[in-house]
Amino acid sequence: MPIEIPTDLTPELVPLSWLIGEWEGRGRLGSGDEDSEHFLQHVSFTHNGLPYLQYRAESWLTDDQGVRLRPLTVETGFWALERKQLDADGGPGLVPADIVPVLKSADEVEALRNKDGGFDISVSIAHPGGITELYYGQIKGPQIQLTTDMVMRGSHSKEYSAATRIFGLVDGNLLWRWDVATGGEAGKGLEAHASAFLHRVS
Protein backbone atom coordinates (compact mmCIF):
# COMPACT_ATOMS: atom_id res chain seq x y z
CA MET A 1 0.00 0.00 0.00
CA PRO A 2 1.58 3.34 -1.02
CA ILE A 3 2.07 5.97 1.68
CA GLU A 4 0.55 9.37 0.88
CA ILE A 5 2.58 12.29 2.22
CA PRO A 6 0.52 15.39 3.10
CA THR A 7 1.45 18.36 0.92
CA ASP A 8 1.56 20.72 3.93
CA LEU A 9 3.97 18.56 5.94
CA THR A 10 7.16 20.17 7.20
CA PRO A 11 10.13 18.33 5.60
CA GLU A 12 11.55 16.89 8.81
CA LEU A 13 8.30 15.01 9.46
CA VAL A 14 8.47 13.11 6.16
CA PRO A 15 10.29 10.11 7.78
CA LEU A 16 7.42 9.90 10.31
CA SER A 17 4.65 10.54 7.77
CA TRP A 18 3.48 6.92 7.55
CA LEU A 19 2.23 7.22 11.14
CA ILE A 20 -0.11 10.15 10.43
CA GLY A 21 -3.80 9.34 10.75
CA GLU A 22 -6.20 7.39 12.93
CA TRP A 23 -5.57 3.76 13.90
CA GLU A 24 -7.74 1.31 15.76
CA GLY A 25 -7.53 -2.33 16.75
CA ARG A 26 -7.25 -4.92 19.47
CA GLY A 27 -4.44 -6.05 21.71
CA ARG A 28 -3.50 -8.18 24.69
CA LEU A 29 -1.98 -7.24 28.01
CA GLY A 30 1.16 -8.97 29.24
CA SER A 31 2.71 -11.64 27.05
CA GLY A 32 -0.52 -12.31 25.17
CA ASP A 33 -0.94 -15.82 26.55
CA GLU A 34 -4.30 -17.49 27.08
CA ASP A 35 -4.99 -15.69 30.37
CA SER A 36 -3.97 -12.22 29.14
CA GLU A 37 -6.68 -9.59 29.17
CA HIS A 38 -7.93 -8.03 25.92
CA PHE A 39 -8.12 -4.35 25.07
CA LEU A 40 -9.29 -2.05 22.29
CA GLN A 41 -7.15 0.94 21.33
CA HIS A 42 -7.64 4.06 19.23
CA VAL A 43 -4.45 5.94 18.27
CA SER A 44 -4.04 9.22 16.42
CA PHE A 45 -0.98 10.93 15.00
CA THR A 46 -1.61 14.49 13.85
CA HIS A 47 0.47 17.50 12.83
CA ASN A 48 -0.07 21.25 12.98
CA GLY A 49 2.70 22.67 10.78
CA LEU A 50 5.37 22.47 13.48
CA PRO A 51 8.20 19.88 13.43
CA TYR A 52 6.58 17.21 15.59
CA LEU A 53 3.68 14.79 15.54
CA GLN A 54 1.05 14.94 18.26
CA TYR A 55 0.20 11.50 19.63
CA ARG A 56 -2.84 10.28 21.54
CA ALA A 57 -3.77 6.70 22.44
CA GLU A 58 -6.99 5.80 24.25
CA SER A 59 -7.59 2.23 25.41
CA TRP A 60 -10.50 0.21 26.83
CA LEU A 61 -10.58 -3.23 28.46
CA THR A 62 -12.77 -5.63 26.47
CA ASP A 63 -13.97 -9.18 26.63
CA ASP A 64 -12.48 -11.76 24.27
CA GLN A 65 -15.03 -10.76 21.60
CA GLY A 66 -13.92 -7.12 21.65
CA VAL A 67 -16.93 -5.74 23.58
CA ARG A 68 -15.88 -2.76 25.69
CA LEU A 69 -16.02 -3.33 29.43
CA ARG A 70 -14.52 -0.11 30.83
CA PRO A 71 -11.92 2.59 30.10
CA LEU A 72 -8.32 1.48 30.58
CA THR A 73 -6.08 4.54 30.08
CA VAL A 74 -5.10 7.47 27.88
CA GLU A 75 -1.60 8.58 26.91
CA THR A 76 -0.53 11.62 24.96
CA GLY A 77 2.75 12.96 23.65
CA PHE A 78 5.00 14.28 20.92
CA TRP A 79 7.19 12.52 18.32
CA ALA A 80 10.01 14.26 16.44
CA LEU A 81 13.33 13.75 14.73
CA GLU A 82 16.13 14.08 17.27
CA ARG A 83 18.42 16.93 16.24
CA LYS A 84 20.27 19.86 17.74
CA GLN A 85 18.08 22.86 18.44
CA LEU A 86 18.88 25.79 16.15
CA ASP A 87 18.59 29.50 16.91
CA ALA A 88 15.56 29.66 14.61
CA ASP A 89 13.65 26.98 16.57
CA GLY A 90 10.82 27.98 18.87
CA GLY A 91 10.65 27.61 22.62
CA PRO A 92 10.87 27.29 25.44
CA GLY A 93 7.18 27.74 26.09
CA LEU A 94 5.51 30.25 23.79
CA VAL A 95 8.68 31.74 22.29
CA PRO A 96 7.92 31.59 18.54
CA ALA A 97 10.26 30.12 15.97
CA ASP A 98 11.98 32.57 13.64
CA ILE A 99 11.30 30.37 10.62
CA VAL A 100 8.68 27.66 10.07
CA PRO A 101 9.87 25.18 9.07
CA VAL A 102 13.46 25.53 10.23
CA LEU A 103 14.55 22.68 7.94
CA LYS A 104 13.14 23.65 4.56
CA SER A 105 14.29 20.93 2.15
CA ALA A 106 14.59 17.17 1.79
CA ASP A 107 18.38 17.58 1.50
CA GLU A 108 18.56 19.24 4.92
CA VAL A 109 16.58 16.36 6.40
CA GLU A 110 18.66 13.71 4.61
CA ALA A 111 21.75 15.15 6.30
CA LEU A 112 20.27 13.92 9.60
CA ARG A 113 20.42 10.22 8.63
CA ASN A 114 22.38 8.14 11.12
CA LYS A 115 25.04 5.52 10.37
CA ASP A 116 22.35 2.80 10.15
CA GLY A 117 20.52 4.65 7.39
CA GLY A 118 17.63 5.69 9.62
CA PHE A 119 16.81 8.77 11.66
CA ASP A 120 17.25 9.31 15.39
CA ILE A 121 13.97 10.26 17.06
CA SER A 122 12.74 11.41 20.46
CA VAL A 123 9.32 10.70 21.90
CA SER A 124 7.75 12.06 25.07
CA ILE A 125 4.62 10.37 26.44
CA ALA A 126 2.56 11.43 29.47
CA HIS A 127 0.29 9.07 31.42
CA PRO A 128 -2.33 9.52 34.14
CA GLY A 129 -0.95 8.95 37.61
CA GLY A 130 1.96 11.37 37.33
CA ILE A 131 4.20 9.40 34.94
CA THR A 132 6.01 10.82 31.90
CA GLU A 133 8.43 8.89 29.68
CA LEU A 134 11.21 10.29 27.48
CA TYR A 135 12.25 7.85 24.76
CA TYR A 136 15.13 7.95 22.30
CA GLY A 137 15.35 5.61 19.37
CA GLN A 138 15.37 5.21 15.62
CA ILE A 139 12.95 5.21 12.74
CA LYS A 140 14.14 3.34 9.68
CA GLY A 141 11.54 3.11 6.96
CA PRO A 142 8.38 1.59 8.50
CA GLN A 143 10.10 0.39 11.68
CA ILE A 144 10.60 2.17 15.00
CA GLN A 145 12.58 1.13 18.08
CA LEU A 146 12.42 3.20 21.28
CA THR A 147 14.09 2.94 24.69
CA THR A 148 13.42 5.17 27.68
CA ASP A 149 16.14 7.62 28.63
CA MET A 150 14.12 8.81 31.59
CA VAL A 151 10.90 7.99 33.43
CA MET A 152 9.59 10.81 35.65
CA ARG A 153 7.24 9.80 38.45
CA GLY A 154 5.16 11.90 40.82
CA SER A 155 5.37 11.42 44.56
CA HIS A 156 2.41 9.02 44.56
CA SER A 157 3.07 7.23 41.25
CA LYS A 158 3.41 3.49 41.03
CA GLU A 159 6.91 2.03 40.63
CA TYR A 160 8.06 2.13 37.00
CA SER A 161 11.67 2.56 35.89
CA ALA A 162 12.17 1.81 32.17
CA ALA A 163 10.53 0.67 28.96
CA THR A 164 11.07 -0.20 25.32
CA ARG A 165 8.57 0.09 22.49
CA ILE A 166 8.70 -1.19 18.93
CA PHE A 167 6.38 -0.27 16.07
CA GLY A 168 6.14 -1.62 12.57
CA LEU A 169 4.01 -1.18 9.47
CA VAL A 170 3.04 -4.57 8.03
CA ASP A 171 0.67 -4.80 5.04
CA GLY A 172 -0.69 -1.37 5.91
CA ASN A 173 -1.35 -2.26 9.57
CA LEU A 174 0.41 -0.85 12.63
CA LEU A 175 1.84 -3.44 15.03
CA TRP A 176 3.39 -2.48 18.34
CA ARG A 177 4.85 -4.05 21.47
CA TRP A 178 5.63 -2.41 24.81
CA ASP A 179 7.95 -3.95 27.44
CA VAL A 180 8.41 -2.38 30.88
CA ALA A 181 10.51 -2.65 34.02
CA THR A 182 9.01 -1.79 37.38
CA GLY A 183 12.37 -1.62 39.15
CA GLY A 184 16.11 -1.60 38.53
CA GLU A 185 18.04 0.07 35.73
CA ALA A 186 16.88 0.81 32.19
CA GLY A 187 17.05 -2.24 29.99
CA LYS A 188 17.15 -4.62 32.97
CA GLY A 189 14.23 -6.75 34.04
CA LEU A 190 11.99 -5.77 31.14
CA GLU A 191 8.80 -7.81 30.87
CA ALA A 192 6.06 -7.92 28.24
CA HIS A 193 3.47 -5.25 29.07
CA ALA A 194 1.17 -5.13 26.03
CA SER A 195 0.98 -5.52 22.26
CA ALA A 196 -1.59 -4.66 19.61
CA PHE A 197 -2.50 -4.90 15.94
CA LEU A 198 -4.10 -1.72 14.60
CA HIS A 199 -5.63 -0.91 11.22
CA ARG A 200 -5.92 2.52 9.67
CA VAL A 201 -9.37 4.03 10.03
CA SER A 202 -8.73 7.34 8.25
Element (H, E) at 106: helix 106-110
Measured in whole angstroms, how far is the alpha carbon of residue 133 from the centre of its chain? 11
3-state secondary structure of 91: coil
Neighbours of 116 (CB within 10 A): 9
Question: Does 84 appear as a known binding residue?
Answer: no
Q: What is the DSSP letter of 17?
A: G
Neighbours of 46 (CB within 10 A): 12
Q: For residue 149, give the nearest of 167, 166, 137, 131 by alpha carbon.
A: 137
Helices (H) and strands (E) in the chain, counts: 1, 10
CA distances from 41 to 19, 24, 66, 197 (A): 15, 6, 11, 9
Question: Does 140 appear as a known binding residue?
Answer: no
Non-local CB neighbours of 25 within 8 Å, separated by 6+ positions: 40, 41, 173, 174, 196, 197, 198, 199
Q: Which residues are annotated as a binding site for heme b?
A: 158, 193
Q: Which residues are annotated as a binding site?
A: 158, 193
